[in-house]
Amino acid sequence: MLISAVLIVAAFISKLGFHNEEIAKWGMIIASVFGAIPIAIQAFQALRVKVVSIDVLVTIAVGGAFVIRNYEESAIVTFLFLFGAYLEQRTLNKTRSAIRELTEMAPESALKQMESGEFEEVEVDDVDIGDVLLVKTGGKVPVDGTVLSGEGYVNEASITGESLPVGKDAGAKVFAGTILDNGTLQIIADRVGEDTTFGKIIELVEEAQDSKSEAERFIDRFSKYYTPAVLLLAVVVGLIWRDIELAVTILVLGCPGALVIGVPVSNVAGIGNGARNGVLLKGSEVISDFSRLDTMVFDKTGTLTIGNPKVADTVFYTDNEDEVKGFLTCVEKESDHPLAKAIVEYFGDFGTYSIEKTDVVKGGGIVAGISGHRVAVGNAALMRAENVAFTEKMTEDIALMETEGNSLVLTSIDGELKALIGIRDQIRPGVKDDLQRLKRLGVKNLVVLSGDNQGTVDIVAKELGLTEAHGHMLPEDKQKYIKELQAEGKIVAFVGDGVNDSPSLALAQIGIAMGSGTDVAIETSDVVLMNSDFSRLPHALGLAKATAANMLQNISIAVGVVLVLLASVFFSEWMNMSVGMLVHEASILVVILNGMRLLRYKLRY
What's the average pLDDT block by block, 10 residues per block, for the chain (605 residues)? 91 88 90 89 85 72 76 78 64 44 73 92 92 93 93 77 76 88 92 78 52 46 72 83 73 68 77 77 78 91 80 92 91 83 86 82 87 91 92 92 85 95 87 93 92 80 92 85 93 81 85 67 72 85 92 87 82 67 72 85 82
Residues 172, 401, 310, 540, CA torsion sign? positive
Q: What are phi and psi for residue 315, nearest 5 degrees?
A: -135, 130
Q: What is the pLDDT of residue 210?
A: 45
Residues 38, 39, 43, 46, CA torsion sign? positive
The second-level CATH assignment, the architecture, of 108-142+144-191 is Distorted Sandwich (2.70)
pTM of the predicted structure, to 2 decimals: 0.62
Q: What is the pLDDT of residue 208?
A: 42
Q: For the chain, what is the largest distance between any 2 Cα atoms, rounded to a whole number of angstroms?
A: 113
Contacts of 580-589 with C-beta under 8 Å, sequence gap 24+, read: 580/249, 580/252, 580/253, 581/70, 581/73, 581/252, 584/73, 584/253, 584/255, 584/257, 584/258, 585/76, 585/257, 587/257, 587/258, 587/557, 587/558, 587/561, 588/76, 588/80, 588/257, 588/258, 588/261
Q: What is the pLDDT of residue 213?
A: 33
Residue 213 is inside which H or E element, if any? Answer: none
Task: Indicate the Cα dihedral angle 142, 143, 145, 150, nearest 10°.
Answer: 0
**16 within 8 A of 190, measured Cβ to Cβ:** no
**CB neighbours (10 Å) of residue 379?**
17
Distance CA 240, CA 142 (A): 77
Distance CA 369, CA 355 (A): 6
Nearest to 214 by CA among 158, 317, 161, 288: 288
Distance CA 504, CA 525 (A): 9
Q: What is the pLDDT of residue 520?
A: 55
* Three-state secondary structure readout of 565-593: HHHHHHHCCCCCHHHHHHHHHHHHHHHHH
Q: Which fold has domain 307-426?
A: Calcium-transporting ATPase, cytoplasmic domain N (3.40.1110)
Distance CA 427, CA 298 (A): 13
Q: Does domain 277-306+428-542 have CATH number 3.40.50.1000?
A: yes
Please name the amino acid found at residue 73.
E
Give the residue numbers marked as catalytic: 299
Q: What are phi and psi for residue 412, nearest 5 degrees?
A: -120, 145
Q: What is the pLDDT of residue 438?
A: 94
3-class SS of residue 534: coil
Q: What is the pLDDT of residue 216?
A: 36
Distance CA 290, CA 271 (A): 13
Distance CA 164, CA 160 (A): 10
**521 within 8 A of 576, measured Cβ to Cβ:** no
Distance CA 136, CA 412 (A): 34
Q: What is the pLDDT of residue 111?
A: 94
358: which strand partners?
Answer: 368
410: which strand partners?
Answer: 378, 420
Residues counted in the chain = 605
Distance CA 573, CA 529 (A): 55
Cβ within 8 Å of residue 219, ≥6 positions away: 54, 259, 260, 263, 555
Distance CA 541, CA 287 (A): 9
Angle (deg, nearest 10), helices 2-12 and 21-48: 150
- Please, is 602 exposed, middle or buried when counting C-beta atoms within 10 Å of its C-beta (0-12, 13-18, 19+)? exposed
3-class SS of residue 202: helix
Distance CA 533, CA 26 (A): 51
Angle (deg, nearest 10), helices 284-291 and 536-571: 110
DSSP of 53-102 = -HHHHHHHHHHHHHHTT-HHHHHHHHHHHHHHHHHHHHHHTTTTTHHHHH
Nearest to 293 by CA among 435, 507, 506, 490: 490
Domain spans in the chain, listed from the N-terminal domain onward: 108-142+144-191, 277-306+428-542, 307-426
**265 within 8 A of 591, measured Cβ to Cβ:** yes
Q: What is the pLDDT of residue 206?
A: 54
**CB neighbours (10 Å) of residue 29?**
17
Distance CA 36, CA 39 (A): 5
Nearest to 427 by CA among 474, 455, 398, 462: 462
Distance CA 3, CA 555 (A): 28
Distance CA 99, CA 523 (A): 9
Cβ within 8 Å of residue 359, ≥6 positions away: 366, 367, 368
